[in-house]
Structure 1
Amino acid sequence: MSTHTHEKHDEHHDHNHGGIFGEKTELYFAILSGVFFFIGLILEKFTNLSGIKLLVSFMIAFFFGGYYTTIEAIGKIKKREFEIDFLMLVAALGAAYIEKWEEGALLLFLFSLGHALENYAMSKAKKSIEALGELTPKTALVKENNSTKEVSVEALKINDVIVVQPNTKIAADGVIIKGKTSINQASITGESMPVDKEEIGELNKIPDFKDIEEKNKVYTGTINGNNVIEVKVLRLHKDSTISRLIKMVSEADTQKSPTQLATKKFEKWFVPFVIILVFTLCFAHLVINETVNESLYRAITVLVAASPCALAISTPSAVLSGIARAANKGVLIKGGRALEDLGSLTTIAFDKTGTLTEGKPRLTNAIPLNGFEKNEFLRIVLAVETLSNHPLAKAITKDIQSTYAVASLGNASNIKAIQGKGISADYMENMVFIGNEALMDSQSILISETVKQQMNVLLQEGQTTMLVAYKQNLIGLLSVMDVPRKHAKETLSKLKDIGIQKMIMLTGDHQNVGNSIAKQIGLTEAKGNLLPEDKVTAIQQLKKANTKIAMVGDGVNDAPAMAHSTVGIAMGAAGSDVALETADVALLSDKIENLPFVIGLSRKSKSIIKQNLWISLGVVALLIPATLFGFASIGPAVIMHEGSTLLVVLNALRLLRYNEN
């Protein structure tokens, strides 16, 4: 990978050439250039050597300092491009031509040293991305009959069964078919705590990888806990989540931000201006009282001062560092545009189900009526609902057992579904009915006005209510609801604190449901009863009013709305092909609380980009008049030029250590 100006498609330099000393060859060549430059100075000051004997040391400094600069310049000239390496080489050769060998050697020494140090510094950002590739183990243990065989991960096939030993990396995306464990998924999702995993129930009906519950699926490169598990391979190595992430993150820095585009446009006009200015200065002796050599020296010095090296790398270095930091935190940002746009947001629209809420119903109320004993009421409900496969029944069963610690006596039988009304079952030789008012009316079970008022209050809050009758008497009221995520309210509060002015829910659920959730977690507004195309319309309207808007969803049914927003943000995208492909930003874990971090990182990136632009343009603005009017020679100009380049890179690398306050 390139490590100098970090744009692919040959738009900038790549000084990571390698050589006889490996990847540090350019640094060693720069040091040798410096050594021979200082030897030349010493010989010049303290010996009587003259002519070619004195110049040998400077010539050797020229060779080592100009070696990679020449390679770059020739490569660009072949493509009819003239960039910074070419300008520096011309300046050095010009200095030699006017017999300023020591200044030409100093120029190439500092230029090559600056680039080598810049290369070293920027490789830290690249290595944060490249480290993803090292997460995948090289081999896997494939189960064959009662034995295992070690094979390369590239040789794994769909439906192979691999055995994963304790504390080892998982070699493929797949589903656990045997065993329970805890898995460290930090490499994929950024989660700091291990996640409990268990084998899937029905081995004969394994769904597509994207449809498998998180508790049953595993990802390549994650680390198994203390138990042996068996995993059925569902994705080939090249299609694994980690492989796609490596590809997307490594390509992300090629997508230019608005600032990069503006900078590139500025360079397009600035570089020809510099060349014309320098060419003109070469003939200054025709109009002012100075020698030819003095005019050439001034022109060369201005050429060094005006070369926009720091400007060229100021934005790409920050974009790369920001993307690398986000990837380390389990967030995929697809390019500089998305990174910058995130920091400009003042409005965020959210999908409800699975984004702001848990995405599954929870038992919110279990109220005994008419003096019926609560534990007995819960035991009856549990016994009946345990027999049902309906999602609401499963939610009620789970929550009664976990929240109320009630155990089923298993005395229910003969369960029947009553279309559009509810269910009935036998319990202790008596009928139990669980369902809506219509079911109770059909069985001539009396519902008091007080109970109807209770139900109406719950309905206004967006809850789904069910009545429970036993022995022809109403014994209780149940309500279920898709409840807010644990950290949703805290996250929205943080977003508000960092300047997000509007937070709007777009949901297909009833308006009452949206209003209830909005009130609980602190949303600005909720829009209910929306079809996917209605969400697109809502996004377009919000964009007209607020300019930049993000849409946060699951990346599947919200994909159209994401596509029309300024920034599409997908939640829980690690297992979703659609989310990874359609979103501009993908939160790989299912954690909404990562949103403030991402927006904060974007704002910090924008701030650093702005700082870098001021540094780079400020130095150029200072050096051009200083060299033009003879206040600065090549030495100080080169030091400030290379110093500013290194400074903007080091400033950008601060993003690698960014943490939310």
Structure 2
Amino acid sequence: MNRFRKWVYGNWFVPVVSGVLIVISFAIRRLAGGAADLALGPQWWLDAGAHATHAAAVFTLADVLMLAAAVIAGYRIVVTAVRALIARVIGIDLLVSIAAIGAVIIGNFWEAAAVTFLFAIGHALEAATMNKTRSALAELVAVAPDTAVVVRDGKQLEIPAGQVRMGEIVLVKNGAKVPVDGQVVSGTGSIDEASITGESILVEKSESDQVFAGTVSRGGFLQVTATGIGADTTLARIIHRVEEAQDAKARTQAFMDRFSAWYTPAVMVLALVAGLITGDVVLALTLLVIGCPGALVISIPVAIVAGIGRAARNGILIKGGEFLETSAKISAVAVDKTGTLTEGRPVLTDINVLDPAMHRTDVLAWAAAAEAGSEHPLARPILQTAHDEGVAPAGVPGAVTPVPGKGIVSAVDGGRVLIGNAPLLDEYGVRDDGRAAQAADELASDGKTPMIVAVDDRVIGVIGVADRIRQDAPEMVARLHRAGVEKVVMLTGDTRLVAEAVGRAAGIDEIHASQLPEDKLDAVAGLQRAGHTIAMVGDGVNDAPALATADIGVAMGAAGSAVAVETADIALMGDNLLKLPEAIGLAKRTVAVMRQNIVIALVTVALLLAGVFAGGVTMSLGMLVHEASVLVVIANAMRLLRNAQGSTAMPKSARTIADAGETAGLPGSPVL
């Protein structure tokens, strides 16, 4: 019973019932005509009057059924048109309503039924295919977990996922969906994160690793502390973002809406004028049907929904149609170095002692004490090495002052520790006899990031850090060029020598080194003045001014960042650089489909209008061709749901500059 009620209130009930009535009407007409022919015999003139009376009654029943088909199919159309008129909107439904009502008034029941029936079918197909294009969103909703196994009072309890409390221990067993965002506190396991990042490769999880709601355990057993539940999970934020993005209008769609607002009344005026001049009511009504801009109206939103849905399925969140359209115009890409072109997991490689009173471990201890309060990626290898060598700081610095583009200043045990580059020493009046600068240049020429360490007013040493270039960085640059990007630019606060080493390894077109945040902003603005539409890939903190200035701001590895998901124009959920050219390529294909759809819609209307004035195109035929054009437009847009050519698989080789000399990549400096 519920299934029947669902069908009655669904999209297909009206066209099916209307279609059945039309078929019965035609059948009655055909049978009535056949019966009359069979009745005509040698003495047909004797009972001709009786046959005529019977035929008239039959044809009246056929007309009633045809009229009923038109009413059933047209009821919703007329209601929608009236509601739109109340809101002062003249839309396609009004054109169809006027044409159908006019056809009924002049007794052309078949034309009225055909127009409304075909329009109802078109509406049902449009709704069905729009749901299909939103399939990525449906898939995201489908992966949302229903239940969770938690530990309460020492017992395992299975509860609805929405009832998990923050900080509670959740058990994730083999084959189960992860019900919350959280941090692994015990156990190991393999997690399928395709629903979040779009990557099909399993990710190994162990203690301290982060897991996301909606991902699936493919092996092992994990105990997870809930850090995000319900609407605060990454999956929920993605669903919310995709919902908003698919409903957001592109500039072209906004223009088409304005165009339709003028176009539809223009068609009505054209039909009225044609009817008055020719005196042909059927011609006027046919023009109303032919002029329906249905394919034109649907051409843009169906492409946007399909494009954004395809991107979301691949772990790429695009903020909306406007940003999708802008991304198709990207001609230059600016990238940060630390954590973008490089893995962001550097290791400490060198400790050069410059103060005779100091030992190697002393320089390391002072550097670690200064970096204990820093969140920069290069602080980690220093602290890790200090821990491994038993000189890790016992606490945190009294104060840590970042100096953008230069380094940090920390208060340690009543003293002042500087760690950064030569301009940092100059700013604080620390004199260098040249040995620190020479050591830093030697490290940089070897492809390592140098950091000068000074305590109070004397330089005590220079440490060097090297990072691995991302395996996919060179391939990313190559694919960006193939996608139509003219220039790939690196903006980094690191030294020229280090930056050039990374640039050579990744194939970067243009390198800007020793960049302060305002310098990065100026570089982006300069590219825009040169006529480029620019995308900026950065961490959103030190690169914030440049990200805000760029036409498109891109966040990488955004799965764990609520801010990135909500604010980035494009958020790459995984940590895969190849998703960037994939996003740009998809945007270009989407815009191409939008343009193709507009051409299809306009050419169809133009040809039909010409056919009406030339003769031969009837109201029903016009509506049939019109609905066919709508289906062509939708089918064209649905091509976007297929995976694009090309793979995002990573190259097999990766090297470090420290291991491979000047041909490898490295991290950023402490000043990025």
Common fold by TM > 0.5:
yes
Matching of residue 170 in structure 1 with residue 184 in structure 2? no
Q: 1:392 to 1:580 in 2, by over 3 A?
A: closer
Q: Which amino acid aligns with 1:195?
A: V
The separation in 2 between residues aligned to 1:74 and 1:466, in whole angstroms, is 72
**Aligned 1:87-102 pairs, distance under 5 A:** 87-102=95-110
Which residues in structure 2 correspond to 1:469-484 (within 5 Å)? 480-484=465-469
- CA offset at residue 46 of structure 1? 4.1
CA–CA distance in structure 2, aligned partners of residues 336 and 97 of structure 1: 43
Whether the aligned pair in 2 keeps the contact of 1:173 and 1:241 (CA below 8 Å) is yes
Tell me if 1:351 matches 2:336. Answer: yes
Unmatched segments (≥5 aa) in structure 1:
1-17, 201-215, 286-291, 368-379, 400-407, 421-435, 437-451, 468-476
Partner residue of 2:235?
242
Aligned residue identity for 1:155: Q
Name the structure 2 match of 1:222: 215
Matched, 1:570 2:563: no
Amino acid corresponding to residue 109 of structure 2 in structure 1: W
Change (3 A) 1:415 1:497: closer
Query: Shift of residue 154 of structure 1?
Result: 2.0
Query: Are 1:233 and 2:226 counterparts?
Result: yes
The answer to whether structure 1 residue 619 and structure 2 residue 604 are counterparts is yes
- 2:191–2:219 Cα contact (<8 Å) kept: no
Question: Is the deviation greater in 559-568 or in 325-334?
Answer: 559-568
Instruction: Tell me the secondary structure at the aligned position of residue 109 of structure 1.
Output: helix
1:112 shift after superposition:
0.9
Alpha-carbon separation, structure 2, partners of 1:112 and 1:56: 20
Aligned to 1:11: none
Cα distance, 1:622–1:394 mapped onto 2, change above 3 Å: closer
Partner of 1:158: 166
What is the DSSP-based 3-state SS (H/G/I as helix, E as strand, rest coil) of the residue aligned with 2:467? strand
In 1, Cα distance between the equivalents of 2:451 and 2:518?
Answer: 32
Within the candidate set 100, 104, 112, 1:104 is matched to 112
CA contact (8 A) 1:19 1:25 kept: no
Q: Partner residue of 1:446? A: none
- Per-residue deviation, 1:623: 1.0
1:523: how far off? 0.6
Match of 2:75 among 60, 67, 74: 67
Q: Is contact 2:241–2:566 with CA below 8 Å preserved after alignment? A: no
What CA distance in whole angstroms lies between the structure 1 residues aligned with 2:615 and 2:515? 69
- Measured in 1, the distance between the counterparts of 2:390 and 2:30 equals 105
Aligned to 2:310: 325
Task: Output the CA distance in 2 between the equivalents of 1:532 and 1:556.
Answer: 10
Offset from partner CA, 1:220-265 (integer Å, 9 cap, x none): 1011232221111112311111111111101102222122122122
Letter in 2 for 1:231: V
Cα distance in 2 for residues equivalent to 1:453 and 1:537: 30
Q: Compute the displacement of 1:531 (Å).
A: 2.5
Inter-CA distance 331–526: structure 2 relative to 1 (3 Å threshold): same
8 Å Cα contact 1:554-1:579 kept in structure 2: no
Structure 1 pair 395–69 and aligned structure 2 pair: CA distance change class (3 A): same
Alignment of 1:16-165 (within 5 A): 20-22=5-7, 25-47=10-32, 49-50=55-56, 52-165=60-173
Which amino acid letter does the alignment assign opposite residue 484 of structure 2?
Answer: G
* In the alignment, structure 1 residue 511 sits paired with structure 2 residue 496: yes
Report the Cα offset of residue 416 of structure 1. Answer: 9.7
Distance change >3 Å, CA 137–CA 588, structure 1 → 2 = same
Question: Helix, strand or coil: the match of 1:174?
Answer: strand
Tell me the equivalent position of 1:256: 249
Q: Structure 2 vs 1, CA of residues 648 and 557 (structure 1 numbering), >3 Å: closer, same or farther?
A: same
Unaligned runs of 5+ in 2: 34-54, 353-359, 372-376, 398-406, 408-420, 422-436, 453-461, 647-672
2:631 equivalent in structure 1: 646
Deviation at 1:342, TM superposition (A): 1.2
Tell me the amino acid that sits aligned with residue 166 of structure 1: N
Identical residues among aligned pairs (%): 36
Structure 1 vs Structure 2 CA RMSD:
3.3
CA contact (8 A) 1:142 1:161 kept: yes
Deviation of 1:455 (Å): 7.5
In structure 1, distance between residues paired with 2:96 and 2:4: 22
What's the offset of the Cα at 1:150? 2.1
Q: Which moved more, 1:477-486 or 1:243-252?
A: 477-486
SS in 1 for 2:220: coil
Once the two structures are superposed, what CA deviation does each residue of 1:557-614 show, in whole Å capped at 9, x if it has no partner? 3233222111111101111122122211100011111112111111111111111011
Taking the aligned partners of 1:466 and 1:630, their CA distance within structure 2 comes to 82
Secondary structure at the residue paired with 1:221? coil
Contact 1:555–1:571, Cα closer than 8 Å, also in 2: no
Q: Deviations over 1:597-639 (max 9, x none)?
A: 1111111111111110110000011111221343311122111
1:319, distance to aligned residue in structure 2 (A): 0.5
1:524 maps onto 2:509 in alignment: yes
Which deviates more from structure 2 when the two are superposed, residues 20-29 or residues 627-636?
20-29
Match of 2:272 in 1: 279
Most deviating of 318-327 and 629-638 = 629-638
- Quick one: which amino acid aligns to residue 589 of structure 1? G
CA positional deviation for 1:98: 1.1
Displacement of 1:466: 9.9
Partner of 2:345: 360
Secondary structure of the equivalent of 1:523? Answer: coil
Equivalent residues in 2 for 1:257-656, closer than 5 Å: 257-285=250-278, 292=279, 295-362=280-347, 395=381, 456-464=441-449, 480-656=465-641
**How far is 1:279 from its partner?**
1.8
What's the CA shift for 1:397?
A: 11
Q: Write the letter of the residue equivalent to 1:185.
A: E
Quote the offset at 1:339 in angstroms. 1.0
Aligned AA (2:233):
S
Instruction: Rate the CA distance shift 1:540–1:461 in 2: closer, same or farther, 3 A.
Output: farther
CA contact (8 A) 2:444 2:495 kept: no
Quickly say closer, same or farther: Cα 1:531–1:455, change in 2 above 3 A: closer
Contact persistence 1:298–1:630 (CA under 8 A) = no
Q: Report the count of equivalent residues.
A: 561
- C-alpha contact 1:349 1:504 (8 A) present in aligned 2: yes
1:194 aligned to 2:179?
A: no
Greater mean deviation of Cα atoms: 573-582 or 69-78: 69-78
Distance verdict in 2 for CA 1:598–1:364, change over 3 Å: farther
Residues of 1 paired with 2:573 and 2:8: CA distance? Answer: 33
Could you tell me whether the CA contact under 8 Å between 1:29 and 1:65 is conserved in 2? yes
Cα distance in 1 for partners of 2:110, 2:604 equals 24
Amino acid at match of 1:53: L
Taking the aligned partners of 1:414 and 1:274, their CA distance within structure 2 comes to 82
Report if the CA contact (8 A) 2:92-2:294 is conserved.
yes
Greater Cα offset, 356-365 or 109-118: 356-365
**What displacement does 1:395 show?**
4.4
Specify the SS of the correspondent of 2:190: strand
- Does structure 2 conserve the Cα–Cα contact (< 8 Å) formed by 1:73 and 1:86? yes
Give the distance between the partners of 1:30 and 1:393, measured in 2 at CA.
Answer: 67
Counterparts in 2 of 1:535 and 1:104: CA distance versus 1, 3 Å: same
Distance 2:605 2:350 in 1: 68
**Between 628-637 and 502-511, the greater mean CA deviation after superposition:** 628-637
Deviation at 1:105, TM superposition (A): 0.8
Comparing 147-156 with 49-58, greater Cα deviation is found at 49-58
Question: Residue 555 of structure 1 contacts residue 573 of structure 1 at CA under 8 Å; is this kept in 2?
Answer: no
Aligned partner of 2:413 in structure 1 is none
| Change in CA separation of 1:307 and 1:364 when aligned onto 2, cut-off 3 Å | farther
1:465 Cα offset (Å): 6.1
Out of 639, 642, 647, which is 1:657 matched to?
Answer: 642
Q: How does the TM-score come out when normalised to structure 1?
A: 0.78
Q: Is the 8 A contact 1:508 1:528 kept in 2?
A: yes
The CA deviation at 1:81 is 1.9
Distance 1:464 1:197 in 2: 30
How far has the Cα of 1:182 moved from its partner? Answer: 1.5
Whole-angstrom CA distance in 1 between matches of 2:465 and 2:10: 67
